Amino acid sequence: MKAIEVKKGVYWVGAKDWNLKEFHGYATPQGSTYNAYLLMDEKITLVDGVKHYMSEENLSRIKSVVDFSKISYVVVNHVEMDHSGNIPEIMKLAPQAKVVTNTAGKQALEAHFDTTGWQFELIKSGDTLSIGSRTLAFMTTPMLHWPDSMMTYVKEDKLLLSNDGFGQHYCIDALFVKDAKFDVVMEHAKSYYANILFPFGAQAEKALKTAGDLGLDIEMIAPSHGLIWSGAEEVNAIIGNYGKWASGANEGKAVIVYDTMWGATAALADVAMGVFQAAGIPVTKHCLSVKNVSDIMPDFLDAKYVLIGNPTLNNQLFPRVAGFVTYMKGLAPKNKTALAFGSYGWRPGVVNQIQQVFDDLGWQSIPPFEEKYTPKSDVLEKFKEKVEELIKL
């Protein structure tokens, strides 16, 4: 397999995982890519590796440009295994190369692999490294989304190798956003942010500020997953959206997430949707029996109101609801106004577990609403009033 030149002397040498369908519970029906980049200069530099089972694709692309014995540096922007899985194999082929990373990255590499004999060159945010005609500038981005995460900026090419920032789990034949449908790529970028980086909004804001403080002039963003953003319009669009998503600002929308056994909880969800529609509030409704949790989370970026409905099963949360609540809590959305609701057969109170999650997240909320078995018209009217009360908060 051949490397692809993305800028003069800068090659994409990554791998495309067409068959990836799931990533830590995040549905990836269109696969993903593991992007690595080769910088041809006086000191040839490889930036990142790939997942272990995609190694041969990565290695063959590198070999199409240069022999491993000529590589001077291997930059490790992130040690998670979809980026570093084949770094040990690379280091066996290029033992003369220095591994460029930060202190946390070195510690993580040592925890994952046998690094005996590896030469490390440790950097901190703002440090630079000359590789000949090019200067690499490093920006550490701890907890975006691992302690070791960092980005590498190629000054002369105005190229940001952005690691997990600005990426998408999206695999198509194209390599650039300009060769795909822009809106589709942006939706995948939004989904990636919502399912991977949502808990780290403060860190994302800090990274954007650091990039500004360092005076980075960016005309291309090459992430570790998905397509490459090129040109001012694309770069400004994705950076602008990251600023919005990271801020925690929402668009005042509503999202209703529920499951149902015999239609009772679904009936309540329908009433809630009608209330928002009557109030002119954009609303989406997701039944967990047909929607993957990761398909729902992008709506949380835009939502002010969150309603979660549960049909009690064996005096517990319904399994799909429990799974969603656990997944959602881990992503820690902020600044929501919430209501838990549901149905039960013989013992009420299970929805209080959902309410506890709202409390743990610091959301504004009103007490949960439950009904035994099928809600009649008078109960539906009471629930309507409950949702109207929520909107007034």
Exposure string of 161-200, with b = 16+ CB inside 10 Å and e = fewer, is bbbbbbbbbbbbeebbbeebeeeebbebbbbbbbbbbbeb
User: Catalytic: 78?
Assistant: yes
- CA distance linking residue 82 with residue 361, whole number of Å: 30
Residue 85 is classified by DSSP as T
Residue with tokens 């989304």: 145
3-state percent breakdown (helix, strand, coil) of the chain, nearest 5: 40, 25, 35
User: Residue 214 pLDDT more than 90?
Assistant: no
Q: Which of 37, 192, 242, 344 is catalytic?
A: 192
Nearest to 196 by CA among 239, 143, 251: 143
Q: Which of 41, 48, 57, 80 is catalytic?
A: 80
Residue with tokens 């460029």: 100
User: Catalytic: 258?
Assistant: no
Q: Which of 17, 157, 164, 299 is catalytic?
A: 164
- CA distance linking residue 299 with residue 303, whole number of Å: 6
pLDDT tens digits for 335-372?
A: 999 999 999 998 899 999 999 999 999 999 999 999 99
Q: Which of 17, 34, 37, 78 is catalytic?
A: 78
> Would you identify the CATH topology of the domain 4-247?
Metallo-beta-lactamase; Chain A (3.60.15)
User: What pTM, to 2 d.p., does this model score?
Assistant: 0.94
pLDDT of residue 364: 98
Kindly give, in sequence order, each residue whose CB lies less than 8 Å from that of residue 184, ignoring residues fewer than 6 positions away: none
Kindly tell me the number of DSSP H helices and DSSP E strands found in the chain.
Answer: 12, 23
pLDDT tens digits for 148-169?
A: 999 999 999 999 999 999 999 9
Nearest to 94 by CA among 62, 52, 50: 62
Q: Which of 83, 145, 169, 286 is catalytic?
A: 145
- CA distance linking residue 72 with residue 96, whole number of Å: 7
Q: Which of 32-36, 203-207, 221-225 has the lowest mean pLDDT?
A: 203-207
User: Catalytic: 192?
Assistant: yes
CA distances from 206 to 142, 151, 201, 261, 384 (A): 10, 13, 9, 44, 41
Q: Are strands 37-39 and 10-12 parallel, antiparallel or unpaired?
A: antiparallel
Question: Given its phi and psi angles, is residue 183 left (phi above 0), alpha (psi -120 to 50 degrees) or beta?
Answer: alpha
Residue with tokens 């998905």: 226
User: In the chain, where are the structural domains located?
Assistant: 4-247, 253-392
pLDDT tens digits for 257-312?
A: 999 999 999 999 999 999 999 999 999 999 999 999 999 999 999 999 999 999 99
User: Residue 61 pLDDT more than 80?
Assistant: yes
| CATH assignment, 253-392 | 3.40.50.360
Nearest to 307 by CA among 272, 349, 347: 272
pLDDT tens digits for 226-255?
A: 999 999 999 999 999 999 999 988 999 999
User: Catalytic: 164?
Assistant: yes
DSSP string, 282-347: -EEEEETTTS-HHHHHHHHHHEEEEEEEEE-BTTB--HHHHHHHHHHHHH---S-EEEEEEEESS-
Q: Which of 24, 53, 233, 251 is catalytic?
A: 24
User: Catalytic: 80?
Assistant: yes
User: Catalytic: 251?
Assistant: no
Kindly give, in sequence order, each residue whose CB lies less than 8 Å from that of residue 286, ignoring residues fewer than 6 positions away: 255, 256, 257, 258, 295, 296, 299
* Host H or E run for residue 272: helix 264-278
The CA dihedral of 333, 338, 342, 348, to the nearest 10 degrees, is: 100
- CA distance linking residue 240 with residue 217, whole number of Å: 15
How does the average pLDDT of the chain come out, rounded? 96
pLDDT tens digits for 95-137?
A: 999 999 999 999 999 999 999 999 999 999 999 999 999 999 9
